[in-house]
Amino acid sequence: MSFAQKETSNYSAEPISLYEFTTESKTWRYCSDIDDYTLDGNVYIGVPASDSGMSQSGEAEGDGITITLPRSAEFATLFQGTAPAAEIWATVRRVQHGEQDAPVHWIGTVSGVKDVGASKVEITCNILTASFNRLGLRLTWGRQCPHALYDRNCRVNKAAFGVAVQVQSLTGVSITAPGLNVGNGYFTNGFFEWQLESGLMDRRPIESHTGNTIVVLGTADGVRVGDWLMVYPGCARTTAVCDTKFNNLPNYGGIPHLPGKSPFDGLK
């Protein structure tokens, strides 16, 4: 029988939900069946999983979904401390037992995770179309550069400025590592990346930098002594820094000589 026939059957339907969570560096897959389920060569781990079901209210913000997983699931353990900084995509598929036809039932992004008792977590997800209603930022005239460092408008090659260092010591908000002493403030407003034990690449912003120590904006939760970090410098968004630090002045997005007087103020 085809997926459609089983889906509408009163007696032959054996529906299984497949849940996939994806970041730029790692993917986790689970299914609501007792046993693992293999689809297109990918193994979905069988766990006591469920969801709140898809709704079509006409308001995208209200059409989210809540997925329930065991607290012991590897994906759920990522949120037992500081949540990952990376955006996480959630895809829900429905499949009939023994079939390989698994249409996408729902897709969106993870917005939060909370514990439910001692054994379960609820993963709240926003539907993809919810982002379509948000107003986009408009590029305006200004003295400082509006581009995000290393993005497609800035065009600075991130890989050319990364510095690999090994954590020597840390506190709740500061990290000390040999190799960071390249000039006070060099990494201020930058960020660092490192690989968690799960294999996920996480990222944290840097608030300030002095000598061999950086202060994390937030906490250094998840970082361990001995971990290797890839640290990237920040930008003050001025022409001087853009030119001398990154040699990127042709791509500077600001207008440093913008007049302080508006042409619409009238003649004075």
Q: % helix / strand / coil in the chain, to the nearest 5? A: 10, 35, 55
Residue with tokens 């250094």: 220
pLDDT tens-digit series, residues 93-120: 988 887 788 888 899 999 989 988 888 9
Domain match, 190 and 111 both: no
pLDDT tens-digit series, residues 51-83: 988 776 665 555 789 999 999 999 998 888 788
Residue with tokens 């469920």: 50
Q: What is the extent of the structural domain holding 208?
A: 162-232
238 token code pair: 């001025």
Write down the pLDDT at residue 176. Answer: 96
pTM equals 0.75
Domain match, 61 and 104 both: yes
Domain match, 123 and 187 both: no
CATH number of the domain residue 112 falls in? 2.30.110
CATH number of the domain residue 201 falls in? 2.40.10.170
Determine the distance from the C-alpha atom of residue 36 to the mean position of all C-alpha atoms in its chain, rounded to a whole number: 27
Judge whether 101 and 95 are in contact, CB under 8 Å. yes
Judge whether 144 and 237 are in contact, CB under 8 Å. yes
Write down the pLDDT at residue 7. Answer: 64
Query: Phi/psi of residue 222, each to 5°?
Result: 100, -20
Structural domain includes residue 194: yes
Q: Closest by alpha carbon to 15, among 89, 91, 90, 105?
A: 105
